[in-house]
Amino acid sequence: MILEDESEGVPPTTTDEAASLGSDLRRAGLGRIVLGSDFPVFDPRRTLALLSERAGLTPAELATIAANRPLDP
C-alpha cells in the first residue's frame, strides 16, 4: 500500500519507502501483483498514479498490474 496522506494513524509513505515498494514489486514480479483498494476511501486510479509518481513504475508496468486478475479458487 502506498499512502499519500495519513490514514487511521498510519503515516504517509515516505520517499524512501515508495522507492523500496517499486523495487519490491518488480522483484516479486509485476504479473503476480493484483491491484486492490478500499474504495471509496482509497481510489484505485489514484493508487496507480502514486505508484507512478512516487514508486517510479512505468506506464507499461502499471498496465500490467491493472490488467492482472485474482486466480480462481
The one-digit pLDDT tens for each residue of the chain (73 residues) are 899 999 899 999 999 999 999 999 999 999 999 998 888 888 999 999 999 999 999 999 999 999 999 988 7
Query: What pLDDT was estimated at residue 72?
Result: 83
- Going from N- to C-terminal start, the domains of the chain cover 31-68
Query: What pLDDT was estimated at residue 37?
Result: 82
Cα separation, 1 vs 4, in Å, equals 10
Query: What pLDDT was estimated at residue 59?
Result: 97
Query: What pLDDT was estimated at residue 40?
Result: 84
Q: Are 11 and 19 in contact (CB under 8 A)?
A: no
Q: Output phi, psi for 58, to 5 deg.
A: -80, 165
